[in-house]
């Protein structure tokens, strides 16, 4: 990545500068002449900070993008999860329905099988009975032939009226019904005919019962078949529905794993950016320490009597004169980053930092020196924008950043409450405000970045 090369180059540059700086000061410190070269080194260091600040801003932007992407994708993942749950529930319901239908179909098929067997059996019985009827009818036919032969003999002996009677009969039943004729046949014949008639009647009755049973079974079978058709149709519908749901399920699962992979990739990117930012923040911190070193060389220190022309009254005052509020405190931003000062905005009585039109109340409004002193820095910086550092003597320094414009320059002597500039939004900011710091150069020569609220008491108009 380009970033890494840049970083290495920057780190090398910084190391060279620090080495050069240390060399200059270790040799030149005891003399007054090297102030100019110290200024140059300070200038170089500021430029280096500017570059690193720029990189950090870029990386932070990229990180914010990546984190936004991760959030969006996590939302997508949640949605997909919901969809998957819903589809799974539908598939489960369908499976249950299909199971129930399959059971119904099995039951119905059992019924159909039983009915089919019943019909088969009845058909066999009917066939048997039909065979018996045929056999009996044949027997009756032959019996009739014998009777006819016998009557013919009677006719030959001259009993003509019986023959006429016989031939006028159209079927067997009429024939047998004729009591007159029956009386004329022998006792044996009459018995035989009576038995046969009885048997035929029995068989005909049985056949009719069987036919009735058969037709009711066939009706039942056709009803069962129609039910079976309905169930089969429903089963097909459910199966096709199940297939389409399963396809949806597969698609959703595929999407889910795609988004999961994407999030994994984004997490890796995010880690990389976080590492890069951490490293650069460490580098910036090191360089800010170098600036502290320069302040050590130039600033007053605790115990030094303030210059008389400062008209120092001994206490640091609040840098704003109107109703205001602290939007970010010391020593961390709400987001967790280091913050070596406090951010102050003008506000309404309800605490809003904007007017009813949404415009900042702070932009372009004056801010004032906390105490009399000498301006030791009045400059522009990528992070602080237009900013001022005032040395008040006795080791106290105050810093004012993000100005729209400055009213003072390096070397100016200012009085307490004198306007230093206008509040603005230059440098690395999210909106117009005054960034205010207190740095102390201690009696042992060290510089510490203090909580301003330990030095400046809040007036009643700070809400």
**Residues lying near Zn ion in the complex (CB under 5 A):** 343, 435
Nearest CA to 420 among 362, 351, 352, 372?
Answer: 372
User: Closer CB to Zn ion, residue 74 or residue 425?
Assistant: 425
CB of 384 to Zn ion, least distance (A): 9
Residue nearest to Zn ion (CB): 435
CB of 245 to Zn ion, least distance (A): 57
**C-alpha to C-alpha distances, 199 to 125, 137, 359, nearest whole angstrom:** 17, 10, 118
CB of 343 to Zn ion, least distance (A): 4
CB of 422 to Zn ion, least distance (A): 17
User: Closer CB to Zn ion, residue 298 or residue 425?
Assistant: 425
CB of 307 to Zn ion, least distance (A): 29
Ramachandran angles phi, psi of 344, nearest 5°: -125, 135
Please list the residues that pair with 449 across neighbouring strands.
439
Please list the residues that pair with 405 across neighbouring strands.
422
CB of 326 to Zn ion, least distance (A): 10
User: Closer CB to Zn ion, residue 341 or residue 373?
Assistant: 341
User: Closer CB to Zn ion, residue 21 or residue 400?
Assistant: 400
Residues whose CB is less than 8 angstroms from the CB of residue 333 and which lie 6 or more positions away in sequence, other chains included? 339
User: Closer CB to Zn ion, residue 140 or residue 420?
Assistant: 420
CB of 335 to Zn ion, least distance (A): 12
Around 206, how many Cα atoms within 13 Å sit in the side-chain half-sphere?
Answer: 17
Q: Where are the beta strands (DSSP E) in 383-461?
A: 385-391, 396-406, 413-414, 419-423, 434-441, 447-450
Which secondary-structure segment (H or E) carries 318? none
Based on C-alpha coordinates, what's the Rg of the chain?
57
User: Closer CB to Zn ion, residue 339 or residue 392?
Assistant: 339
The packing angle between helices 187-298 and 2-28, to 10°, is 20
CB of 331 to Zn ion, least distance (A): 11
Q: Which residue has the tokens 């749901």?
A: 245
Q: Which residue has the tokens 């951490």?
A: 278
User: Closer CB to Zn ion, residue 140 or residue 345?
Assistant: 345
Residues whose CB is less than 8 angstroms from the CB of residue 248 and which lie 6 or more positions away in sequence, other chains included? 87
CB of 41 to Zn ion, least distance (A): 26
Q: Which residue has the tokens 């249950």?
A: 96
User: Closer CB to Zn ion, residue 288 or residue 307?
Assistant: 288
Task: Concatenate the DSSP letters of all residues of 244-278 into one string.
Answer: HHHHHHHHHHHHHHHHHHHHHHHHHHHHHHHHHHH
First to last CA, the chain: 48
User: Closer CB to Zn ion, residue 435 or residue 449?
Assistant: 435
CB of 401 to Zn ion, least distance (A): 7
User: Closer CB to Zn ion, residue 210 or residue 328?
Assistant: 328
User: Closer CB to Zn ion, residue 343 or residue 374?
Assistant: 343
CB of 341 to Zn ion, least distance (A): 5
Cβ(431)–Cβ(360) below 8 Å: yes
**C-alpha to C-alpha distances, 171 to 40, 166, 201, 262, nearest whole angstrom:** 146, 10, 15, 99
**138/135 Cα distance (integer angstroms):** 5
Please list the residues that pair with 397 across neighbouring strands.
391, 439
Residues whose CB is less than 8 angstroms from the CB of residue 297 and which lie 6 or more positions away in sequence, other chains included? 25, 29, 38
CB of 435 to Zn ion, least distance (A): 3
SS3 198: helix
User: Closer CB to Zn ion, residue 435 or residue 439?
Assistant: 435
Q: Which residue has the tokens 């405000």?
A: 433
**397/45 Cα distance (integer angstroms):** 20
**208/443 Cα distance (integer angstroms):** 131
């Amino acid at each position: 990545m380009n970033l890494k090369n840049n970083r290495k180059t920057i780190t090398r540059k910084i190391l060279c500068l620090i080495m050069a700086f240390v060399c200059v000061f270790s040799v030149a410190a005891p003399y007054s002449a090297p102030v100019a070269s110290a200024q140059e080194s300070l200038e170089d260091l500021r430029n280096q900070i500017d570059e690193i600040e720029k990189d950090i801003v870029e990386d932070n932007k990229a990180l914010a993008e990546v984190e936004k992407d991760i959030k969006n994708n996590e939302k997508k993942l949640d949605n997909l999860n919901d969809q998957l749950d819903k589809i799974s529930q539908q598939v489960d319901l369908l499976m249950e329905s299909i199971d129930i239908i399959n059971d119904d179909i099995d039951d119905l098929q059992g019924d159909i099988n039983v009915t089919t067997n019943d019909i088969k059996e009845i058909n066999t019985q009917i066939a048997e009975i039909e065979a018996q009827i045929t056999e009996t009818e044949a027997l009756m036919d032959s019996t009739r032939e014998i009777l006819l032969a016998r009557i013919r003999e009677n006719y030959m002996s001259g009993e003509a009226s019986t023959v006429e009677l016989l031939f006028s009969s159209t079927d067997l039943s009429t024939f047998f019904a004729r009591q007159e004729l029956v009386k004329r046949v022998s006792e044996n014949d009459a018995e035989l005919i009576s038995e046969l008639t009885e048997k035929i009647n029995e068989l005909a009755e049985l056949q009719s019962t069987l036919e009735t049973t058969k037709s009711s079974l066939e009706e039942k079978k056709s009803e069962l078949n129609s039910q079976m058709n309905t169930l089969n149709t429903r089963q097909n519908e459910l199966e096709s529905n199940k297939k389409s749901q399963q396809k949806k399920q597969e698609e959703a699962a595929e999407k889910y794993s795609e988004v999961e992979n994407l999030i994994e990739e984004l997490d890796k990117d995010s880690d990389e950016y976080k590492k890069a930012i951490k490293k650069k923040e460490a580098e910036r911190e090191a360089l800010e320490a170098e600036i502290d070193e320069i302040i050590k060389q130039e600033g007053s220190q605790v115990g030094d009597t303030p210059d008389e022309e400062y008209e120092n009254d001994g206490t640091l005052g609040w840098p704003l004169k109107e109703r205001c509020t602290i939007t970010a405190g010391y020593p961390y931003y709400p987001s967790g980053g280091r913050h070596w000062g406090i951010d102050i905005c003008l506000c309404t009585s309800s605490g809003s930092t904007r007017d009813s039109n949404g415009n900042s109340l702070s932009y372009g409004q004056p801010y004032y020196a906390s105490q009399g002193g000498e301006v030791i820095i009045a400059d522009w910086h990528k992070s602080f924008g237009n900013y001022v550092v005032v040395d008040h003597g006795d080791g106290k320094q105050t810093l004012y950043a993000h100005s729209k414009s400055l009213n003072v320059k390096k070397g100016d002597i200012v009085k307490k409450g004198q306007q230093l500039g206008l509040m603005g939004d230059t440098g690395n900011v999210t909106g117009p405000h005054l960034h205010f710091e207190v740095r102390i150069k201690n009696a042992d020569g060290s510089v510490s970045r203090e909580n301003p609220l330990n030095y400046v008491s809040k007036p009643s108009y700070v809400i």
